[in-house]
Amino acid sequence: MSLLTVRDLTVEFPGPRGTVRAVDGLSFALERGRTLGIVGESGSGKSATSLAIMGLHAAARVGGSIELDGTEIVGAGREAVRALRGRRMAMIFQDPMSSLHPNHRVGEQIAETRRLHFGASRRRAREDAVRALADVGVPAPRERARDFPHQFSGGMRQRVMIAMALACEPDLLIADEPTTALDVTVQAQILELIAGVQRDRGLAVVLITHDLGVVARVADDVLVMYAGRSVEKAAVAELFTGPRHPYTRGLLGSLPRLDGPPGAPAPIPGNPPDLLSPPGGCPFHPRCPERIDGCATVRPELTGGAHPAACHLLSAPEEAAP
Amino acid sequence: MTALLELDGLTRTFRTRRGTVRAVDGVDLTVRAGETLGLVGESGCGKSTTGRMLVRLLDATSGRIAFGGRDITRLPPRRMRPLRGQLQIIFQDPFSSLNPRRTIGSIIAEPLRVQGVRDPGPRVREMLERVGLGAEHADRYPHEFSGGQAQRAGIARALVTRPRLVVADEPVSALDVSIQAQIVNLLAELQRDLDLAYVFIAHDLAVVRNVCARVAVMYLGRIVEIGDRDTVYGAPAHPYTKALLSAVPLPDPVAERERERIVLRGDPPSPAEPPAGCAFHPRCFKAQDRCRVERPVLAEVAGRQAACHFPEVH
């Protein structure tokens, strides 16, 4: 059985100008020891997905099913979800300050997790915190445990947040744009750290990012989202060598690259859809260079075995396929 | 080709509680008419401060800026004004650089009014079309625009006076990938049509590679390597350039898994406490005793300039 199973997930945010359906019928499964990259641009629903899994969606209406190791999260009571969050799953964010308390020493914050969820004694919890900091590569961990978050550099603060997330010994780690705010040389360090703990502890990781390079470096499988829907799912190598959805192809074609000949990238025309009034049919059809009859009216379903995509071209007659 | 812009020993210091910080420390640079020079580096390297100084949004502490052969380093605002139309800047966040209470048309007309143009309307409309917006956008407000459209408006404002040099400070890094390419291509098209020179400031090495014929890499306030794009990217001489390139994840899972990677230790240092000798030595995988005491200067290395005692290529 998969560690995480998401079925037909919907996340809706009611607002004064109407309801935004940020996630619209998303399904996927994730095994222990694997990293799933969820890729999308702003408004694709990738972050709303992660907040729904963590049960951190105060203002949203969540539908469908999210099962963590057989326990249903959608509709579960706050206390039940909080217990899972502290013990079975943890999340790291783009901005570490959003999950660290600014006025508490970092060692105390990590120690509190150990006391709360594992019943460790004060002394034991303190030792655990020092070891947790050492494990994520914080130099002089015993001394640094007594520092406050603002005394750390951006990269070190990210390490502290990872140490805190791992202190609850989760089975599932959700990393939402964990390196987006970092310089590229520091990003390389943090990606290496995440890949290392993933390997050592057999964690399941959901990595949410807009950066296809980051996905190529650390993910095993990829899910591409557009306008709240999953448009393509594949093993990482297949996605990059044989993208099946025109949006995925467009995204890869618009990337500036360090490999291959330099030159003008091929942009995707138009703008991302307005989720208050999303286009009918396939949400990508207004920007799609390959659209055919039916794309504007009929919503394509995700189809196609181990490498599914949601595109009418894939079920159209041979000559229409690219 | 003659130099359009020359920087000579350009330096900027800031006073802080922790002492004097040298954000930019002796930058020499030449930009030729019609070319695109990339200025790359990580946060705090001084690339944006350099960009702001060279359009005179920020005064230099010392050094010299010559534009079209004329020293503009200390020109007072009254005498700088006629030159403003020739020297423009595009910012990273289009929304924070466009006045939310003014229409797009009036925002784009403003630089023309400063130059004393009495009826800016026709030129505003022409510029809107050049950047891929329509005349109908002139009456709208910035909040009605998407990120890509707002950046197009920012570009129109910068180019409406027909500048000869434009500093583009991270012009695409706030945009989604699919939109970035639209803006990059627009900038290239405008350069061809209007004979512009760009100083393209970015942290994204891949974007710079696609846009710039020449590139300068900065570290802690100084240029550590500068040369033609293919030379610098193809065979970097400075260990920092090499590490920076190797840190960028490639959108190619097979290459990513086989690739040799240099992972630098530590964070970029603070300009408030610059290391002695070569500023890069505490993170450098090749550092030796000499690097800890003697600051390397830019020198000719295999067809480009690099500031390193032990360059990667000879």
Between residues A62 and B257, the one the model is more confident about: A62
**C-beta atoms surrounding A139 within 10 Å:** 11
Percentage of chain A exceeding pLDDT 70: 98
Q: Please name each of the domains of chain A with its CATH number.
A: 4-88+170-273 (3.40.50.300), 104-161 (no CATH)
- B263 vs A186: CB contact, 8 Å cut-off? no
Three-class secondary structure assignment of chain A: CCCEEEEEEEEEEEECCEEEEEEEEEEEEECCCCEEEEECCCCCCHHHHHHHHHCCCCCCEEEEEEEECCEECCCCCHHHHHHHHHHCEEEECCCHHHCCCCCCCHHHHHHHHHHHHHCCCHHHHHHHHHHHHHHCCCCCHHHHCCCCHHHCCHHHHHHHHHHHHHHCCCCEEEEECCCCCCCHHHHHHHHHHHHHHHHHHCCEEEEEECCHHHHHHHCCEEEEEECCEEEEEEEHHHHHHCCCCHHHHHHHHHCCCCCCCCCCCCCCCCCCCCCCCCCCCCCCHHHCCCCCCCCCCCCCCCECCCCCECCHHHCCCHHHCC
Beta bridge partners of A309: A232, A303
Of B270, B310, B275, nearest in space to B290 by CA: B310
Domains belonging to chain B, first-starting first, are 3-86+163-234 (3.40.50.300)
Contact assessment for residue A93 and residue A160, using Cβ atoms and an 8 Å cutoff: no
Sequence-separated contacts (24+) of A265-268 with Cβ below 8 Å: A265/B180, A265/B181, A265/B184, A265/B185, A265/B210, A266/B181, A267/B178, A267/B179, A267/B180, A267/B181, A267/B182, A267/B184, A267/B185, A268/B178, A268/B179, A268/B181, A268/B182
- From the list B156, B135, B166, B159, the residue with the least C-alpha distance to B36 is B166
Which residues in chain B have their CB less than 8 angstroms from residue A217's CB? Answer: 249-250, 253, 256
User: Pick from B175, B192, B217, B190: which is nearest to B91 by CA?
Assistant: B175
DSSP state of B58: S
Q: Count CA atoms within 13 Å of residue A302 on its CB side.
A: 21
pLDDT at A320: 44
Distance from CA of B243 to the nearest CA of A (A): 8
Confidence at A56, pLDDT banded by 50, 70, 90: confident
- Inspect the interface and report whether the beta carbons of A262 and B178 lie closer than 8 Å: no
Q: Which of B178, B191, B208 to mutate to test the interface with A (most CBs of A within 10 A)?
A: B178
CA distance B238 to B302: 11
Model confidence pLDDT, tens digit, residues A90-102? 999 988 887 899 9
* Residue B74, pLDDT score: 96
Band the pLDDT of A319: cuts 50, 70, 90.
very low
**What are the pLDDT digits (tens) for A283-296?**
999 999 999 999 99
Picking from B43, B248, B283 by the largest number of A CB atoms within 10 A of its own CB, the best residue to mutate is B248
Q: What local confidence, expressed as pLDDT, does residue A160 receive?
A: 94
pLDDT confidence of A150, banded at 50, 70, 90?
very high
Q: Are B292 and B310 in contact (CB under 8 A)?
A: no
**Per mean pLDDT, which range of A19-33, A222-236, B109-123, B265-279 is the poorest?**
B265-279
B249 touches chain A (CB under 8 A): yes
Q: For residue B43, list chain A residues with Cβ-Cβ distance below 8 A.
A: 183
- Give the DSSP letter of residue B267: P
DSSP H helical segments within chain B, as ranges? 47-54, 77-84, 104-114, 121-130, 147-159, 177-194, 205-211, 229-234, 239-247, 253-258, 289-293
| Confidence (pLDDT) at B270 | 81
Position with higher pLDDT, A219 vs A98? A219
Question: Distance from B255 to chain A by nearest Cα, in Å?
Answer: 9
- Mean pLDDT over residues B224-230, rounded? 97
Full-model pTM: 0.91
State whether residue B182 sits within 8 Å of chain A by CB: yes
Q: What would the mean pLDDT of A236-245 be, rounded to a whole number?
A: 96
- Report the interhelical angle of B177-194 vs B147-159 (nearest 10°): 20
Neighbours of B38 (CB within 10 A): 26
Asked if A214 and B179 come within 8 Å (Cβ–Cβ), the reply is: no
Distance from CA of A13 to the nearest CA of B (A): 20
Residue A2: partners with Cβ closer than 8 Å, 6 or more residues away: A29, A30, A31
- CA-to-CA distance for A275 and A62, rounded, in angstroms? 16
In 3D space, the residue among A145, A180, A150, A177 whose CA is nearest the CA of residue A164 turns out to be A145
Classify the phi-psi angles of B28: left when phi > 0, otherwise alpha if psi is within -120 to 50, otherwise beta.
beta
Tens of pLDDT, residues A292-309? 999 999 999 999 999 999
Residues of chain B with Cβ-Cβ distance to A195 below 8 Å are none
| Min Cα separation B171/chain A (Å) | 14
Burial of A297 (0-12, 13-18, 19+ CB in 10 A): exposed
Confidence of residue A321 (pLDDT cuts 50, 70, 90): very low
Residues 293-312 of A with CB under 8 A from B: none
- Spatial distance between the Cα atoms of A220 and A308, rounded to a whole number of angstroms: 16
Supply the pLDDT for residue A274. 87
Distance in Å, alpha carbon of A251 to nearest chain B alpha carbon: 6
Nearest to B267 among A153, A192, A259 (CB): A153
| Residue B259: per-residue pLDDT | 87
- Band (pLDDT 50/70/90 cuts) for residue A316 is low
Interface of A with B in 153-172 (CB under 8 A): 153-156
Query: What tokens were used for B241?
Result: 């350039």
pLDDT, chain B, mean: 94
Pick the range with the lowest mean pLDDT from A58-62, A317-321, B44-48: A317-321
Return the pLDDT at B104.
96
Residue A265 has pLDDT above 90, yes or no: no
Residues of B in contact with A287 (CB under 8 A): 178
What is the model's pLDDT at position A271? 87
Interval A221-227 mean pLDDT: 97
pLDDT at residue A317, as a whole number: 54
The distance from CA B65 to its chain's CA centroid, rounded to whole angstroms, is: 16
CA–CA gap between residue B37 and residue B62 (Å, rounded): 22
* Mean pLDDT value across residues A16-22: 92
Tell me the C-alpha distance between A213 and B88, whole Å: 33
- Record the tokens describing residue A86, joined without a space: 């502290």
